[in-house]
């Protein structure tokens, strides 16, 4: 039996019958999210943000004697963390744009798993499934759009950070 944050017993409703969400349903939602993202990644041309990040990423060099790691670029007003991930994907994929997009799709899926785990930990698996479906269909996280790169990279870690804070505060892990 699940106890809410206020202490009263609230789940499962109906006197103890099983109300959990099957893992296969979660896997189906994640597979559908992956399919939609791959469809858009293959079909859409480069956007302005992608072009800017890719150009800056191609200037990054970690070789001896040619170390070049920009911390600011006047061409983009966004943080360069996304550019660093783009540079890593560019290095792994040999400049293939699809490989770069697939790295951000993987980050997006890590974020979706985090949404589900956070929802299941704080609320219930049914609430977590609804949150997962809503996040999987969010237009900013589905299409390779001007905000996709930033959204995928930033949102992928946010649920995990919130979960860590929640666990630290509820289990007494926090230290003064």
Complete DSSP assignment for 137-151: H-HHHHS--TTHHHH
pLDDT for residue 22 is more than 80:
yes
Distance between CA 9 and CA 28 in Å, rounded? 30
Q: How many domains does the chain have?
A: 1
The answer as to whether 15 is a domain residue is no
Poorest-pLDDT segment among 11-15, 33-37, 84-88: 11-15
The answer as to whether 11 is a domain residue is no
Domain that holds residue 151: 21-170
Average pLDDT over residues 56-67: 73
Average pLDDT over residues 28-47: 85
The band of 12, judged by pLDDT with boundaries at 50, 70 and 90, is very low
Query: How far lies 173's CA from each of 119, 149, 157, 159, 165, in Å?
Result: 20, 33, 20, 18, 9
The answer as to whether 39 is a domain residue is yes
The answer as to whether 154 is a domain residue is yes
The answer as to whether 158 is a domain residue is yes
The band of 162, judged by pLDDT with boundaries at 50, 70 and 90, is very high
Distance between CA 40 and CA 162 in Å, rounded? 29
The answer as to whether 176 is a domain residue is no
Closest among 172, 161, 154 to 118, alpha carbons compared? 161
Poorest-pLDDT segment among 26-35, 73-82, 99-108, 140-149: 140-149
Can you count the helices (H) and strands (E) in the chain? 8, 2
pLDDT score, position 41: 81
Instruction: Tell me the pTM.
Output: 0.74
The answer as to whether 84 is a domain residue is yes
Residues forming a β-bridge with 68: 61
The answer as to whether 75 is a domain residue is yes
Closest among 1, 22, 4, 27 to 12, alpha carbons compared? 1
């Amino acid at each position: 039996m699940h106890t809410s944050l206020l202490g009263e017993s609230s789940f499962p409703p109906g006197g103890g019958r099983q109300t959990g969400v099957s893992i296969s349903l979660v896997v189906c939602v994640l597979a559908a999210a992956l399919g939609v993202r791959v469809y858009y990644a293959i079909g859409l041309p480069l956007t302005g943000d992608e072009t800017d990040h890719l150009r800056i990423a191609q200037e990054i060099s970690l070789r001896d004697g040619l170390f070049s790691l920009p911390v600011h670029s006047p061409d983009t007003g966004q943080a360069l963390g996304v550019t660093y991930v783009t540079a890593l994907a560019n290095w792994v994929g040999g400049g293939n744009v699809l490989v770069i997009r697939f790295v951000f799709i993987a980050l997006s899926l890590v974020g979706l798993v985090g949404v589900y785990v956070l929802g299941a930990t704080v609320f219930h698996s049914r609430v977590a499934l609804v949150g997962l479906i809503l996040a999987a269909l969010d237009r900013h996280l589905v299409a390779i759009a001007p905000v996709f790169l930033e959204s995928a990279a930033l949102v992928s870690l946010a649920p995990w950070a919130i979960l860590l804070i929640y666990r630290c505060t509820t289990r007494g892990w926090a230290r003064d």
